[in-house]
Copies of this chain bind each other. A is one copy, B any other.
Amino acid sequence: MSYSKELQREMEKEGIEIGDRIKVLDNGKEHTGILMPRTESDEDTLVLKLDGGYNIGLKHKNGMSFKKLEDVEVESKDLHVDVKKSGDKSVSILIAGGTIASRVDYRTGAVKPSVNEDEFVTFAPEIGGIAKIETRKILNTLSENIGPEDWKKIAEEVVEEIEKGKDGVVIAHGTDTMGYTSAALSFMLENLPIPVVLVGSQRSSDRGSSDAHQNLTCALKAATTDIAEVTVCMHGSRSDDFCYLHPGTKVRKMHTSRRDAFRTVNADPYAKIYWEDLKVERIRNDYRKKNTQRKVEAKSELEGHVEIIRIYPGMDPGIFEKKLQRSKGVVIEGTGMGHIPTDNKEIMEELKKYIEEGNIAFMASQCFNGRINMNVYETGIDLQKAGVIGNLSDMLPETAYVKLAWLLGNYDKEEAEDLMTENMRGEITERSVKSKF
């Protein structure tokens, strides 16, 4: 999308291009900021990213004047050298990619990861006031392409930062698979002494409604707290008011586009973090408290041959068989409290054979909310007789998948089987939460 011909002509007169820092004089009022590409606004409304970080739309009117300002090199590194100003905490930002580190490619119109360390902190200049910040790009990947090898890399980079004596680590990551990565890091980072906060944005920072600014600011704040868990920090409502700090093993992306897409499932978030005053309102107190004496260990091995089997009526039993053949462990994403079509003899025979051959099958639910209970119906009892393990309780299927791959990578089979049904990283909630789901 581009601006109207008239608006483009006026810009050309002044030698202004998208991305330039400009001054707009509008009816006596002066606005200074970066000229953004047109996104959702109408073609006569120019979008300006104000120096404070907000985007505004200015309707083009007669008498409006535009002036290109000198390029101001963003000196992001300066933002975090003033110790007095920034407090005594030091936080590392590791950039893995994703929308929060992306810009609109003006040629194709698509968003792609392209932001470097220095640009990154300019989304939220005030984070320099929260802590001493060091930013490092470790990957440049949209999260749909992040996988087990990247989880290992991220875990190892986090350990490196912890060993430098940091008070917290923020990881800028795409939202699509953020829940998988947060689960993986939860298991991999044993004895975590400090907060590790994943943050992303649903809309890139050059869009008017971007959530990058608020999310990054709140994530930085979260990284300075005593909540020494792997968490996800994202918009908590449809307004620009607060973020939720979600437990890394209980969080799921539940909306494709809304900024408050992330939900803690079967538990409560740890805290609310308000954007305006950076107040941290704790919701739970059962988190691991920060203790820099604790020695972290990156237990980052993963068994590659673990799969998820998604159950649906009319599924090809042959696929069931194929998926089992090639894996050492599976998480079945069953229906309801943990069911599959047991009337299908082909599926049941394959499943029995698979387990007899020494592989492991666990049951999770495609409902996501609620617990597995395979003692209520005939189907569940039959599946347990066949060797399917159903006491994962309220563990998310995605978390169960990551956990099983991690356990089989780091423990022998018997230990893995035992640990799978134990609560290791908050992935099982003992007492149900009464709140809405």
Contact = CB atoms under 8 A, between A and B. Distances in A.
Q: How many copies does the complex hold?
A: 2
Interface in A69-117: 99, 105, 108-112
Contacts of A261: 367, 369-370
Contacts of A405: 314
Interface stretch (A27-35, A292-300, A330-338): A330-338
Interface in A114-145: 141-145
A378 B256 contact: no
B111 A378 contact: yes
Interface string A294-328: 00000000101111101111111011001100110
Interface stretch (A175-183, A215-223, A243-251, A414-422): A175-183
A63 to B, nearest CB: 36
A22 B255 CA distance: 52
Interface stretch (A41-49, A160-168, A190-198, A339-347): A339-347
B336 A378 contact: no
A257 B371 contact: yes
Contact of A319 (B256, B307, B334): B307
In this complex, the member of A142, A256, A372 whose beta carbon has the largest number of chain B beta carbons within 10 angstroms is: A256
A380 B110 contact: yes
A19 interface: no
A147 B311 CA distance: 12
Given A112-B378, A376-B111, A148 B257 contact: no
Interface string A361-399: 000010111111101111111000000000000000010
A343 B145 contact: yes
A176 B256 contact: no
A306 B326 CA distance: 22
Contacts of A318: 326
A425 interface: no
A64 interface: no
30 contacts: A109-B375, A110-B381, A111-B376, A112-B377, A142-B378, A144-B335, A144-B340, A144-B341, A145-B341, A145-B344, A147-B313, A147-B314, A176-B335, A181-B313, A253-B335, A253-B336, A253-B367, A254-B367, A254-B368, A255-B369, A255-B370, A256-B336, A257-B373, A261-B367, A310-B333, A312-B398, A312-B401, A319-B319, A319-B326, A322-B323
